[in-house]
Amino acid sequence: MLTADFVRLRKKGDHHVLEGVSDAAMQDVRAYADRIVGIGLGALGQTRAEVEGLRARAAEGVSFRNKAFFDGLAIVFDDAATFEGRDGEASRANRMALFEFATRWRREAQGTASFDRAAVIDAFAAQKTGGAQAAGAAQALDREMYADRKREERLSAVGFSTSGPLIARWEVGRVQAILLRSTAITVELHAPPPEVLRKLLRALKFHQLLHSVEPHESGRLAIRIDGTSSLFDATTKYGLRYAILVPAMIAAGASRILAEVKGRSAKIFLLEGEALLALRVEAERLAGEVPPREEVEDLLTRFPLLASRWTAQRGARLVDLAGITVCVPDLDFVRDDGLRVAFELLGFWSRKAVWDRVEAVERGLAEPVLFAVSERLRVSAEAMPSEAPSALYVFKGTLRPKLVLEHLERMAVACDARAASTITAKKPRKAKKIP
């Protein structure tokens, strides 16, 4: 993945934006991409060191300013390529045996002959093969001695056969490089379709990124993505997750991305308009599907083993939490009479996220939701109003299906009571007879 060393920013008003690539520079970029792809296709089977040597010769004459373009394209090419190493255990064993043999050789030959590397390898190969084909064995031994090292890995497959896709991937990589140093991101979307928003929020939860969704007028949403790195020094621990999430944010139809970036001085990075639209096609290709969370999958597998009126389903909807935020339920629990309870896992979130949900319930959250939160956040289940149809399940270690079922049954009682009171309130009163 590209780092901030391979991109340049320029000031635009109160923000910083990516420095554009001029038409002349883009012609150079295309030429560099053609060279890099051509070298890769012609170097299949060669070692990483040999490939890098070919590139170094191809980079001769590249200006200092354009060197970042050439090297960045090479990094993106290698990220998509497959380099395979040899058996590390065999290489380490041969190396150790040869070093021990060389030590004995030096000790025995001390004062009688100078130390000759080639002679030592030949003698060691002859000892291993019993003298048969010692010359070929020595060459193979010398070649394979460090085969487990990265520079000796061999190129077995390439990810790009033409320069166009390589440049498109490089363009997205430039944005990712900026977000590697970011501490917080705000993504703005204008009336996104539910399925698109659901996919983005699932990606945020999968990468364990703290986030809040702020609904605005006309269907506009602002998603604030934060991490503990904003509280301490700049770090790439969360920045890497931000960078990985870039394709998902762009593919979701983001109209604006603002990132707080740390460096020598704090900056606000802005990506919007045509610069954002130009990345959409490649971002949609890279976004892919979000794999399910292990804890949720485990609960989904184990819950049906309980004898109950409830069935568990993967969540496929959005729940508006009383205008405070929006959540994507991990699961939906459905009772045999149609009562539906959403389930959201908040095991890694901040305490503020929990209190936002408590506030939503206090405001009269329409849908029953079971919020599961790790005890590590030091939140009590009693924080949730006892008469509310929603509940807070504080778990230790892993989610327990039996305790989930107990919460569902208690919530169902509150839901049934609320439904009964609603029916009673709507029932028309009988008119009194006048004598």
pLDDT exceeds cutoff 50 at 151: yes
317 and 354 in a common domain: yes
Residue of 324 and 368 predicted with greater confidence:
368
Look at residue 153 and tell me if it is in a domain.
no
169 and 98 in a common domain: no
264 and 175 in a common domain: yes
Average pLDDT over residues 171-180: 93
Look at residue 136 and tell me if it is in a domain.
yes
Structure confidence at residue 429 as a pLDDT band (50, 70, 90):
low
Average pLDDT over residues 118-136: 74
168 and 114 in a common domain: no
pLDDT exceeds cutoff 70 at 311: yes
pLDDT exceeds cutoff 80 at 231: no
How many folded domains does the chain comprise?
3
pLDDT for 236: 61
Q: What is the pLDDT of residues 198-228, one digit of tens each?
A: 889 888 888 878 888 888 877 788 999 875 5
The answer to whether 263 and 181 are in contact (CB under 8 A) is: yes
Average pLDDT over residues 223-251: 75
Look at residue 219 and tell me if it is in a domain.
yes
Q: Which letter, b or e, does each residue of 19-56 get, where b requires 16 or more Cβ atoms within 10 Å of its Cβ?
A: eebeeeeeebbeebbebbbebbeebeeebbeebeebbe
Residue of 136 and 149 predicted with greater confidence:
149
pLDDT for 255: 92
Structure confidence at residue 423 as a pLDDT band (50, 70, 90):
low
Mean pLDDT score across all residues of the chain: 85
pLDDT for 110: 64
Residue of 177 and 324 predicted with greater confidence:
177
* 16 secondary structure, DSSP code: E
- Report residue 194 as tokens: 């539910």
Residue of 297 and 421 predicted with greater confidence:
297
- Report residue 269 as tokens: 């990075």
Q: Which residues contact 53 (CB under 8 A, 6 or more apart)?
A: none
pLDDT for 230: 44
Look at residue 319 and tell me if it is in a domain.
yes
Average pLDDT over residues 2-28: 90
| 157 backbone dihedrals φ, ψ, rounded to 5° | -155, 150
Structure confidence at residue 55 as a pLDDT band (50, 70, 90):
very high
- Report residue 306 as tokens: 């309980």
283 and 301 in a common domain: no
pLDDT for 348: 62
Closest CA to 182 of 222, 235, 232: 235
* 365 secondary structure, DSSP code: -
pLDDT exceeds cutoff 50 at 233: no
410 and 265 in a common domain: no
Look at residue 257 and tell me if it is in a domain.
yes
Structure confidence at residue 322 as a pLDDT band (50, 70, 90):
confident
300 and 283 in a common domain: no
Q: What is the pLDDT of residues 116-126, one digit of tens each?
A: 788 888 888 88
276 and 195 in a common domain: yes
Look at residue 309 and tell me if it is in a domain.
yes
pLDDT exceeds cutoff 70 at 427: no
420 and 322 in a common domain: yes
Residue of 42 and 293 predicted with greater confidence:
42
Percent of the chain scored above 90 by pLDDT? 43
Look at residue 188 and tell me if it is in a domain.
yes
95 and 15 in a common domain: no
Q: Highest mean pLDDT: which of 41-50, 214-223, 227-236? A: 41-50
- Report residue 130 as tokens: 């019993």
282 and 318 in a common domain: no
Residue the block writes with tokens 């809040």: 212
pLDDT for 431: 52
Where in the sequence is the domain holding 319, given as residue range(s)?
Answer: 294-425
Structure confidence at residue 266 as a pLDDT band (50, 70, 90):
confident
Rg (CA), the chain: 31
Average pLDDT over residues 231-245: 71
Q: Is 252 exposed, middle or buried (0-12, 13-18, 19+ CB in 10 A)?
A: buried
pLDDT for 234: 46
Look at residue 363 and tell me if it is in a domain.
yes
Pairing of strands 182-190, 220-226: antiparallel
Average pLDDT over residues 306-313: 93
Percent of the chain scored above 70 by pLDDT? 90
Q: How many CB atoms lie within 10 A of CB 168?
A: 19
307 and 245 in a common domain: no
